[in-house]
Structure 1
Amino acid sequence: MCANDGELIMKIRALVRLIAAMGILLPSLLSASSAEANIFSLSVHRRTCSQATAYVSYDGFSGGTAPFYIAFTVDLNNNGVFGEVGEPTLFAEVTGNGSPLVIGRRLTFPNQREGAFIAVTAYEVDGEGFFVSGPLEPVRYSCTNRPALNATASNTGIVPRIAVVARVFVNRVEVYSQPSAASTLIGSLGLGQQVDVIGRNARNDWVQIRFSGGTGWIMWQTQARLSGAFSQLPIVG
């Protein structure tokens, strides 16, 4: 046997060992990837025209940047956008330590007329506002003032859209026509005021909001808190 034949045999043996190793590793890699489903099995239990108690199952694993939050929110005006101003969003922090959980929250919202349709969804975001899991197919119900107690699972067949809302935590935030303090000042927001956010600039320090029947811009990072998946906002300025 020549030296070249020996080298060839060694290479073949190394390749066989590599294939065997991949056979061991691939299932675990695929399992780790599929674990990023994270939340599933949304259901709504006790519900009325002003409250809904929702639950999700959490598999105990989260990808992204900690901390992680499961959000529950509603669509009250049936436009397919969940968590707009006037539509509450509640958050539950999870640790991603591998322990499965069932997590629930009771959402309270302005009383709707009896027979109105209300929809509930849930999703998970990481500490940087990126979607980790969901949003889940919503549960939609026709409300009654008398509490309905039977559990209802996802039943709409749609992928919901999630709103981003800014809540002001300083006394005054100035609203500009463009993402620059050198642009036209068009108004202001007060402490505790909430507005729908519809876009962001490339540096992520300004957000575009719905304002006085049109749009405006605020510098948000030291003046407002955002709820919803910030990373999903389009860059428009």
Structure 2
Amino acid sequence: MPGISGTGAVTRSTLRQQIADALRDEVLGGRLQPGQEFTVKEIAEQYGVSATPVREALVDLSAQGLLEAVQHRGFRVHEYSLDDYREMLQARALVIDGMFQALDAGHEAFRDPGDPRTAATLAVVRRRGEEAQRAAGAGELTVLIGYDLRFWRELSALFGNPYLGDFLHRLRLQSWVCAVQYLRRLPDLRGVLWAGHTGLVDALGARDTVAARAVVAAYNAHSLGLLERLAAA
């Protein structure tokens, strides 16, 4: 696969990360389908590298919930159901609502929205949201997923709790893995995908958690409704 280097200049940990990133892109891009099985040897041969970093990368992706180990057979892409997606939305809502409660309580990251550091960080997150919205409007799902994951990662970092950010990132990654198997059924995704990222940033910048909660609720309702319609069709 492109972008993987097995030369001596690349450490094993770097190679492990490269393989994990590339495989994650294959899953999110729909090229590795839910339930599809493969072995460490097959992936190592495809990448032209040794088995050790491949095995480590596959274990990492299993820990993230993208893959699952199959005893004596290798790994397969995890299959998520709509019920799984509903539960992911519930878990995401709890985490995000906790973030908003911290904002209501005067979390230091948002103590002064006029503070140059806070304003600068929000501006970066907003630009990420603008890119996500452009990708959504153009129906570019793979591009949208990349920007969306970075948007939420950077937004959650404002609250200063790396564990919260990591947990939310994992949930969002699993949500996208579940969603792409349905979204890829549509030949044209223009105007179909949610694109309210900047509205959420603006609400948080104004410390308006009521509006922020409304944006997130609308997002969850839109995405779940869309997947339910696609599943039924």
TM-score bracket, normalised by the shorter chain, equals under 0.3
State the structure with bigger RCO (CA 8 A, min sep 6), 1 or 2: 2
TM-score (norm 2): 0.22
Larger Rg: 1
Higher helix share: 2
Higher strand share: 1
